[in-house]
Structure 1
């Protein structure tokens, strides 16, 4: 009887872990992939390392950005923020 009494407790722990840890992480990964897929040439961006630039070329996994000091080739996952939409809202 003691073993069966602990089963609902362990199931509850698994359900709580799913809703507070696993599910939010999956949503975040999905949003990041949608963000990366929505990038286009001409978008102004900021990388995770703080570089500001404009997308010059797109490849499957990488991006070439134009900065004031030249062009840089970076991975799509290194892009932190897209500024074009925010700048257009202000105008």
Structure 2
């Protein structure tokens, strides 16, 4: 067999297809809509919830503590979790605002 003939018989190199260029871009766009956008939407809703926090709201914290808001500061809140038991928390630890009278025993 003659290797020179085989080398000449090989086809020319093909131009790279547009698919090879567009596929990584498509994957990045898909990741944005699946991962980044929902997370930023959730963060925006959490910031709005914290901004609307007021005295008397009943909340659940990310640590699982339930209580009633007594004072609202710039970055901290004072929370009553039982009779004669009050704690001070960062606003960012608030996970959920509960419906009114969810914690009926706390006055």
TM-score, normalization by structure 2: 0.72
Asked if 1:32 is matched to 2:30, the reply is no
Tell me, in whole angstroms, the C-alpha distance in 1 between the residues paired with 2:47 and 2:60: 17
Which stretches of structure 1, 4 residues or more, deviate above 2 A after TM superposition?
84-87
Report how far residue 83 of structure 1 moved.
Answer: 1.3
Matched with 1:52 is: 66
- Please, what TM-score do these two structures have when normalized by structure 1? 0.84
Equivalence for 2:86: 71
Q: CA deviation at 1:39?
A: 0.6
- The residue aligned with 2:10 is none
User: Matched residues in 1 for 2:89 and 2:53: separation?
Assistant: 13
Unaligned runs of 5+ in 2: 1-14, 103-107
Displacement of 1:57: 0.6
Root mean square deviation, CA, Å = 1.8
Which is higher, the Rg of structure 1 or of structure 2? 2
- Three-state SS of the structure 1 residue aligned to 2:22 is helix
Measure how far apart 1:84 and its partner are: 3.3
Deviation at 1:50, TM superposition (A): 1.6
How many angstroms apart in 2 are the aligned matches of 1:34 and 1:67? 23
Question: Where is the helix percentage greater, Structure 1 or Structure 2?
Answer: 1
Unaligned runs of 5+ in 1: none
